Structure 1
Amino acid sequence: MAELTEQQVENQTAADFFPLLSLVLNDPSMSLIDDSHKEAVMLERLAVVGIGPGLEFDWSALETDVQEALTTGFENGFGRVRAAVVEGNSDIMVDMNGWNVLQNTGDFRTDWLTRAAMADFGFAGPDSPASHVGGIKFTDANGDPLDGSNRYTITFDLEDLPLVTEFWEIPIYDAQGYFVENELDRYSINSYMLEEGLLDTDGNELVISVQNEEPDDPEQATNWLPAPEGDMRFTARFYGPHWSLVDGSYDMPEVVPAEE
């Protein structure tokens, strides 16, 4: 499974991607946007190399220069999507106190960059972001890359929790965006756990302890979110968000390196 999931994105090549694109566009269950000029233009461009509804695409039959051009485009596009989220591209991202939130446009449609960012960083995310928003985090409060060999805290004031109509959660992932098995079988801290009294809230605060090994302190262990051993990231999720989570005005707590 690890090899399969990494091959889908991390190890995918242009020779992998374009046949899959052709397969999707020829899937009768995949609907097109009949009234979209932008999509029609994109389909015309793809048809030049044999990709599109009703067309049979064969990567190996392409001229070498065409393969090279498609490979360059694929690699540039992949890099652009990653950079847009990691660097907080203001065209598609909103800064929420250091957490990058995809702009809630209500419908991706032909917003290719935002759609690709959601597909890459928001696994199983909705086609329309209206139902929930996600805050992506790669660095700590000092701007250093998140690493499971370090210890961190995320502190919520119980009087200033994320405003949602459904629930919120703070999941933790490895650098590739996958959950990592841990002894607690715990992969997020969420509002349900808080409501059910499963978390320590002394001092009117929820202090989430993020580290690889279980904390020695019993209170910290109660709020422990097990981290992978190496590089990692967060994608906080807010279901039924109030506007402060959409426009980034909510004072989302930083990921703070724990004091030694």
Structure 2
Amino acid sequence: MTGPLSELASEAYVFGFPLVFNGEQILRLTTTGIGSLPPASFNSFSHARSLADPRDTFVSINNDTVYSIAPVDLSVGPILLSVPDAGDRYYVLQFVDAWTNNFAYLGTRATGNGRGDFLLVPPEWEGGPEGDGVTVIRFPTRIATIVGRWACDGEEDLAAVEELQNSLALTPIRKSLTPPQGMPVVAGGLGEALDFFERFRTWAIAFPPAERDRTALDSYSVLGLTSAYTLAEAPEEVRQALEAGYAAGKQALEMAVRTGDGPVVNNWQVNLHIFDYNIDFFEVGALDDPAWKHTDAKTRYATRAAAALGGLWGNHGYEAAYFFTYLDAAGDALTGEHTYTLRLHPTPPVRAFWSITMYDLPNFYLVENEAARYSIGDRTRGIVYDDDGGLTITMSTTRPTDPTAAANWLPTPQGAFRPIMRLYAPEQILLDGGYEVPAIERVD
């Protein structure tokens, strides 16, 4: 079925995808956990006690840091977040609202590594800091996620990271026996497409978007997506349009993730600005700067949806830059059928550290391999630099026979793959485009 209603439903899919996908991951975290992250109730942290591996089935998860993630629900009122002194260790606590806006940052870049207290308050809260030295962080939506990452220098460093994790504390200011409201329950059972749109309808009511986005949301009222009534009660014409719009929107979004909307340099998608769709909410650590705002209304929703699908809970480029590629230097798809090299000279300019992580397609999951190596970077033990200070990385399914290539080996899956380069606390020259990552060369 095609027509105006179906086209509108396709737009609605893209608009609502971040809210639904993010909500589903919050539900995973609060019920079953995500990979090595155990389930956590609202207003508590789930701590990974190991670096991520293929058991962590989360889109584009990183293997550089250990996660501490908290689903926060301010229906209970303000909550005090206490952060320990991290010494000289890089870390970041990133705040992501229900629509996936990154609206605050704490940590090495944003607030330094000393201890601190932060009062987390709901959108409608009125008041000031409760105590000296307390910084207020206002949430755009009642529910948000704190995504914490601690730099970890291998297995022997995990105990020190765990001590820091255990020192994170979330303390409700108001004492009450009433539990957090949590995510509104959506019954399901209407089929994949209508279940998606029913989550969209229900959660958009619970978590209103930014004021500027409400016109777009209201335009979907003819599809029943702003109604107080479930889609089970919608007219058949509307239900058919939602089915068709879901299929078309899903296909378009998956294509958008593959092509990206940033500049392409040596076949790398340079996505410095993929998370710049937040243009309304700026709390501590989030830069209220035109250089980091995606203001084109025609493409902002598509960018936001692609960012959620390809890298949910990713940071702004000024915190961590993300480059990815599907293609080698000749423009051919990267695949485990071949062997490749990437020569970095000079290595990337960062204030913290950099890495390249290998992911399969189409899931963007880490890749099981005989070396149990899922990423390689400047902190990888045993890597061998070239005589001129460069670094040559080999990508292949089997371990290279040459000792140097084996030391610098990043294993690939048998099929198609997509590596991501992460650059933590990138230098300004990198943000300005003055440093380019070379193309990946096929060598067999």
TM-score bin (small chain): 0.7 to 0.9
| Matched residue type, 2:258 | V
The correspondence for 2:217, drawn from 30, 43, 47, is: 43
Q: Match of 1:236, SS?
A: strand
- Report deviation, 1:181: 1.5
Q: What corresponds to 1:225 in structure 2?
A: 410
Matched-pair contact (CA < 8 Å) for 1:132–1:240: yes
Q: Classify 1:80/1:103 alpha carbon distance in 2 versus 1 (closer, same or farther; 3 Å).
A: farther
Matched, 1:65 2:237: yes
Percent of aligned pairs sharing the same letter: 31
Q: Match of 1:67, SS?
A: helix
Q: What corresponds to 2:209 in structure 1?
A: 32
Q: Match of 1:252, SS?
A: coil
| Matched residue type, 2:222 | V
Matched, 1:241 2:414: no
- Provide the aligned C-alpha RMSD in A: 2.7
Q: Deviations over 1:174-205 (max 9, x none)?
A: 01211122222211112222xxx520113232
| Matched residue type, 1:48 | V
Q: Match of 1:48, SS?
A: helix
Matched-pair contact (CA < 8 Å) for 2:340–2:394: yes
Give the structure-2-normalised TM-score. 0.48
Q: Match of 1:173, SS?
A: strand
Q: Classify 1:98/1:105 alpha carbon distance in 2 versus 1 (closer, same or farther; 3 Å).
A: closer
Q: Match of 1:202, SS?
A: coil
- Report deviation, 1:233: 0.8
Q: What corresponds to 1:9 in structure 2?
A: none
Q: What corresponds to 1:202 in structure 2?
A: 386
TM alignment of 1:83-232, pairs within 5 A = 83-88=255-260, 92-104=261-273, 107-109=276-278, 111-126=300-315, 128-157=316-345, 160-176=346-362, 177-193=364-380, 198-203=382-387, 204-232=389-417
TM alignment of 1:244-259, pairs within 5 A = 244-259=429-444
Q: Match of 2:270, SS?
A: strand
Q: Classify 1:117/1:201 alpha carbon distance in 2 versus 1 (closer, same or farther; 3 Å).
A: same
Q: Match of 2:331, SS?
A: coil
The aligned length equals 236
Matched-pair contact (CA < 8 Å) for 2:347–2:390: no
Q: Match of 1:229, SS?
A: coil
CA distance in 1, matches of 2:275, 2:307: 13
Q: Classify 1:137/1:80 alpha carbon distance in 2 versus 1 (closer, same or farther; 3 Å).
A: same
- Report deviation, 1:26: 4.0
CA distance in 2, matches of 1:239, 1:208: 19
- Report deviation, 1:106: 6.8
CA distance in 2, matches of 1:105, 1:149: 30
CA distance in 2, matches of 1:55, 1:249: 52
Q: Classify 1:48/1:244 alpha carbon distance in 2 versus 1 (closer, same or farther; 3 Å).
A: farther
CA distance in 1, matches of 2:259, 2:367: 25
Matched-pair contact (CA < 8 Å) for 1:14–1:71: yes
Q: Classify 1:213/1:81 alpha carbon distance in 2 versus 1 (closer, same or farther; 3 Å).
A: same
Give the structure-1-normalised TM-score. 0.79
Deviation larger for 94-103 or 134-143: 94-103
- Report deviation, 1:244: 4.2
Q: Classify 1:142/1:16 alpha carbon distance in 2 versus 1 (closer, same or farther; 3 Å).
A: farther
Q: Match of 2:219, SS?
A: helix
Matched-pair contact (CA < 8 Å) for 2:323–2:421: yes
Structure 2: which 5+ runs fail to align? 1-34, 36-53, 59-190, 279-296
| Matched residue type, 1:251 | E
Structure 1: which 5+ runs fail to align? 7-11
Deviation larger for 75-84 or 217-226: 75-84
CA distance in 2, matches of 1:239, 1:56: 46
Matched-pair contact (CA < 8 Å) for 2:275–2:307: no
- Report deviation, 1:17: 2.1
Q: Classify 1:57/1:247 alpha carbon distance in 2 versus 1 (closer, same or farther; 3 Å).
A: farther
- Report deviation, 1:93: 1.0
Q: What corresponds to 2:165 in structure 1?
A: none
Q: What corresponds to 2:20 in structure 1?
A: none
CA distance in 1, matches of 2:318, 2:378: 20
| Matched residue type, 1:167 | F
Matched-pair contact (CA < 8 Å) for 1:94–1:247: no
Which structure has the greater CA radius of gyration? Answer: 2
